[in-house]
Structure 1
Amino acid sequence: MLKINNLHINYGGIKAVRGINLTIEDNKIVTLIGANGAGKSSTLRAIMGLVKKGEGTVKYNDENITDLSTVDIVKKGIVLVPEGRHVFPNLTVEENLILGAYTINDKEAIKNNMAQVYEIFPRLKERHWQKAGTLSGGEQQMLAVGRALMIKPKVLMMDEPSLGLAPILVKEIFDIIKTINEQGNTILLVEQNAKKALEIAHYGYVLETGELKLEGTGQELLNDSRVQEAYLGEAR
């Protein structure tokens, strides 16, 4: 279980995140929704040690990992798929995947993990020789997720995985997220496509200007008139 308690994040004089508490239970999909600038991405980056926390703690299985380096957090099995994919464009699909396994020294384990990634993403296997920069946006997103899966993470955090994708690919990405979860991965998902995120989430949090305003099961939030009006384009 991943627990975030009283998290504060400051950028100069700007309070980006103010005292939020999150619980991400094992083998669940938990989503964090909110408008642009709400502090969603900052929260993920703070968990990974990529931005400084002004206050608060991050615990994983009751171990305090608040001040660990990003590399040590990855070694604990917590991985972030960043917004914008950030694949290495001049390297092949396979080379990108190998880089995702940088904490693993066992070549056989890397080979087995790659085979499992190719099983989830057969399109990547077909294009294993192709440079990542020549892939479509959807294929690059698959590669970014596959690269994160190369260390067999226990907690997979995803930042806007559907951003900029065609509707048919959005459905495919969310189906893949469900499949990854069903295989035993805990997922913390940040998404602006609130409807899709809440449809697959076991639990969700609504973040507004750095503060948590609502929380509940995915279905509870889908049925909440405040969420419908603010994030789903509906009103009662």
Structure 2
Amino acid sequence: MMLLELKNVEAAYGNIKALKGINLSVPEGKIVTLIGANGAGKSTTMKTIMGIMKPIAGDVLFKGESIAGMKTHNIVRKGVVLVPEGRQILQNMTVRENLEMGAYQRNDAEGIKEDLSKVFERFPRLFERQGQFAGTLSGGEQQMLAIGRAVMAKPEVMLLDEPSMGLAPLVVQQIFDVIKDINKMGTTVLLVEQNARKALQIADYAYVMETGKIVMEGPAQEVASNPDVMAAYLGGKKKQ
């Protein structure tokens, strides 16, 4: 089943069209990645899915129902959660409080407790630092906290916007391992990522975006071996 679909979506900042008729599908249980250069429109796509921006044309569907222009908290309630670029954790709240904030729309106290244990199990560092202010964590720990907070919302689809940005290579590997784990546990993932090599390694399907348009799509391994993609994003040589 297609959990999430964008159909001919257009979005704009004033007179500047940022998305020019995007078609994109995220099947249930898969990892789908959206790669592209800075300014290609990847984050705008995420914001449009989450209702932070309203599309000026086209539709966003979750389980076949239109969520285009719906308020963000209602989209979260339906089961779509965003881990935003730059993490955006609550710096002056503790690690534990940040995680509990992720579950603010839930009312199953036992389930919340269980999921908090699972997050601490998956991120022992967060367990160790649960009483610390989130702003005192390292960049990698903050990213783990942002992902853990999203897990607490019990999403069906998790959107990750540049999760590896600014992190050391060792931490990047950890973050990608976590994304694979989350997917194995049953959460569908849409991943926007500048580290195209890593994203294509873990994704099932990939879309390549340039200046507000999807210019290529296909199974991730096929996209990774495309000479144009290799030249543009993977440091390979373009065939003459």
Superposition TM-score tier, normalisation by shorter sequence: over 0.9
Q: CA deviation at 1:118?
A: 1.1
Contact 1:32 1:190 in 2 (8 A): yes
Structure 1 residue identity aligned to 2:116: M
Partner of 1:168: 170
Partner of 1:93: 95
Structure 2 residue identity aligned to 1:202: D
Is 1:24 aligned to 2:20, yes or no? no
Is 1:118 aligned to 2:104, yes or no? no
> CA–CA distance in 1 between the matches of 2:218 and 2:197?
14
Once the two structures are superposed, the pairs formed by residues 7-86 of structure 1 within 5 Å of their partners are 7-86=9-88
Q: CA deviation at 1:123?
A: 1.2
Contact 2:54 2:69 in 1 (8 A): no
Partner of 1:188: 190
Structure 2 residue identity aligned to 1:15: K
Other structure's SS at 1:130 match: coil
> CA–CA distance in 2 between the matches of 1:176 and 1:219?
20
Structure 1 unaligned blocks of 5 or more: none
Structure 2 unaligned blocks of 5 or more: none
> CA–CA distance in 2 between the matches of 1:91 and 1:66?
32
Is 1:151 aligned to 2:138, yes or no? no
Partner of 1:140: 142
Identity percentage of aligned residues = 57
Number of residues paired by the alignment?
A: 236
CA RMSD for the aligned pairs? Answer: 0.8
Q: CA deviation at 1:109?
A: 2.2
Q: CA deviation at 1:68?
A: 1.7
Other structure's SS at 2:76 match: helix
> CA–CA distance in 1 between the matches of 2:30 and 2:175?
17
Deviations 1:166-215 (A, max 9, x none): 00001110011001101111000000000000010000000000011000
> CA–CA distance in 1 between the matches of 2:47 and 2:32?
16
Contact 1:113 1:151 in 2 (8 A): no
> CA–CA distance in 2 between the matches of 1:77 and 1:107?
18
